[in-house]
Amino acid sequence: MTRSPLLKEVAFVQQKPRGRQFFANPGPTNIPDSVLLASAHASVDFNDPAFLEVYDACVDGLKRVLGTQHHLFLYAASGHGAWEATLVNLCSPGDCLLMLETGYFSESWSALARKHGLEVETVAADWRRGVELVELRRKLAEDKAHRFHAVCVVHNETSTGVRFPVEKVRAALDEVGHPALLLADTISSLASMDFRMDEWGIDGVVGGSQKGLMLPAGLSFTAASEKAMEAHRRARLPRFYFDWSQMLTRRQKSFVGTVPISFFYAMRESIRLLEEEGLAQVFARHHRLAEGVRRAVHAWGGNAGPQIFCTDPARRSDSVTAILMPEGFDADAIRRTVLSRFNVSLGGGLGSLGGKVFRIGHLGDLNEPMVLGALGAVEMSLRLNRVPHSAGGVDAAMNWYAEAA
């Protein structure tokens, strides 16, 4: 990214930050204190009945959060591991995937698939909107030979803040009688936005620990439908650590190696917190918090200021907002000011969006004052860096939160 001459970045004397860091990344996210405390558990044998009780409760709880009654395979890996595990368990060399283009994460999942010898065809899209459903229907109707083995969708594209209506893909497949598996990446939507695996007819769901589930990074999973299990029996890509068949021989029906036990003490608590609040209320809170962020950015956007990256209001994500800087102004300069001056951590632009957008994560263990703190730091940093904008973003968010409480 070349530095624009328009950029006037403010330099600060680095001081030791005081107070709590406001963490507004779209993953990892804030971890509730009770979850942190719950994870501090001495080692136990992972076949000890007392641990198995905790483990089974987590699997049941996670299935409720996913909206599935089918299979769940867990891995000691971040989300990338679950992407890989899902494909190697379901595909054979040369199989073709139909990937809906959404942004950086659909590109990364495609790159991973190609490295495994899969073909990837893409439904192209404007990153600011995502795939048009008519385009998807056209692609599926054209595939009379049923070359597509699976359709892959990133439910919530974390790099752009665009949510794709994954609930509409099953109908598109059924309309043309296409037998492809439907795979969804729900890493940054699960437990923050409505998601119902079985009801929406999804065959493989990829999820991770460090976003809506409010856990540390390092645990991920795939939920698999019966149709996916049938495909698994025929799939010939090499696999060992991620092999579902091998996992099914274990008591935990997951983990070929050691079970990362502390995750499950933590997860039992995070699921308890989610269900105590109620999933519907969790989704409503995320929507309320996200809407305040959107109103703030909308206010800043006056005077040729920053804009919400997602141009389709119906597809704006409730877990992350990507904010497009005015031409010639560096998003990373804002992030640096926000961090060095106010100790607020934001997400940066990924891939080709580097320097052009910054991202406010508003998912997980979060409330209005935490969001207002992040918004206040951004608004002050826009001013300090002389980025064109209209003031009043924080006011717009406060007005919304006061009404929508």
Ligand X SMILES: *Cc1c(COP(=O)(O)O)cnc(C)c1O
Per CB under 6 A, residues contacting ligand X are 27, 78-80, 105, 154, 158, 185, 187-188, 208, 217
> Which helix (H) or strand (E) segment is 204 a member of?
strand 204-208
Nearest residue (CB) to ligand X, 349 versus 393: 349
DSSP state letter for 318: S
Six-digit token string for 195 = 């998601």
Q: How far is the CB of 383 from ligand X (least distance, A)?
A: 30
How far is residue 346's CA from residue 148's CA, in Å, rounded to a whole number?
A: 38
Nearer to ligand X, 27 or 373 (CB): 27
Q: Residue 284: CB partners within 8 Å, gap ≥ 6? A: none
Closer by beta carbon to ligand X, 254 or else 337? 254
Distance CA 128, CA 357 (A): 12
CB of 162 to ligand X, least distance (A): 11
CB of 15 to ligand X, least distance (A): 31
Query: Measured from the CB atom, is 208 or 355 closer to ligand X?
Result: 208
Tell me the backbone φ, ψ of residue 31, rounded to 5 degrees. Answer: -105, 120
Nearer to ligand X, 185 or 379 (CB): 185
Contacts of 62 (CB under 8 A, 6+ apart): 72, 207, 221, 267, 271
Contact 97, 120 (CB under 8 A): yes
CB 275 to ligand X: min, Å: 23
Q: Which is nearer to ligand X, 27 or 306 (CB)?
A: 27
Is beta strand 307-308 parallel, antiparallel or unpaired with respect to 220-224? unpaired
The nearest distance, CB 208 to ligand X, in angstroms, is 5
Q: Least distance in Å: CB of 82 to ligand X?
A: 8
Helix (H) / strand (E) element for 347: namely: strand 344-348
Q: Which residues contact 280 (CB under 8 A, 6 or more apart)?
A: none
Residue 317 or 381 with smaller CB distance to ligand X: 317
Task: Please answer whether residues 293 and 371 qualify as being in contact, where contact means their C-beta atoms are separated by less than 8 angstroms.
Answer: yes
Which segments of 80-127 are extended strands (E)?
Answer: 96-100, 119-123
- By beta carbon distance, the residue nearest ligand X is 79
Instruction: Kindly state the smallest distance separating residue 27's Cβ from ligand X, in Å.
Output: 5
